[in-house]
């Protein structure tokens, strides 16, 4: 029975978007395994974080991207797209996901 539980919860790379769908320095909301994920394009490098801001639940995919950060569209909390850390409020963070690109497919480990 434990092997079934491990199989269901095992992480795997899933295709969640294609590279042409996300303009440089912008984000897009995608869904996988009941999770809302924000995908970002930083000059051709793609990052994935939890889409909900831990402060009030704003969609981070709609935030302003500058450098390697996204700024919450509601209250401007900043989140590093590589680490998930918030500089404004140390200790506040969002989940990050491993991303890889194969051809035009953006794959996220979830």
Instruction: Give CA separation, 7 vs 35, 60, 97, 98, in Å.
Output: 18, 30, 19, 19
Summarize the confidence of residues 88-97 as an average pLDDT. 94
Tens of pLDDT along 8-43?
568 999 999 999 999 999 999 999 999 999 999 999
Strands 64-66 and 69-71: antiparallel
Of 40 and 7, the structure prediction assigns the larger pLDDT to 40
- Please name the residue that has the structure tokens 């294609």: 18
Q: What is the CATH number of domain 13-109?
A: 2.102.10.10
Of 66 and 1, the structure prediction assigns the larger pLDDT to 66
d(CA 83, CA 69): 10
């Amino acid at each position: 029975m434990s092997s079934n539980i491990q199989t269901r919860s095992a992480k795997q790379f899933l295709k969640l978007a294609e590279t042409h769908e996300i303009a440089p320095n912008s984000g897009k909301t995608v869904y996988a395994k009941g999770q809302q994920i924000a995908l970002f394009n930083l000059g051709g490098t793609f990052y994935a974080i939890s889409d909900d801001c831990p402060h009030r639940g704003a969609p981070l995919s709609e935030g302003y991207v500058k450098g390697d950060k996204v700024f919450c569209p509601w209250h401007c909390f900043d989140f590093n797209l590589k680490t998930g850390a918030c500089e404004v409020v140390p200790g506040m963070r969002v989940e990050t996901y491993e991303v890889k690109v194969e051809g035009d497919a953006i794959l996220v480990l979830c």
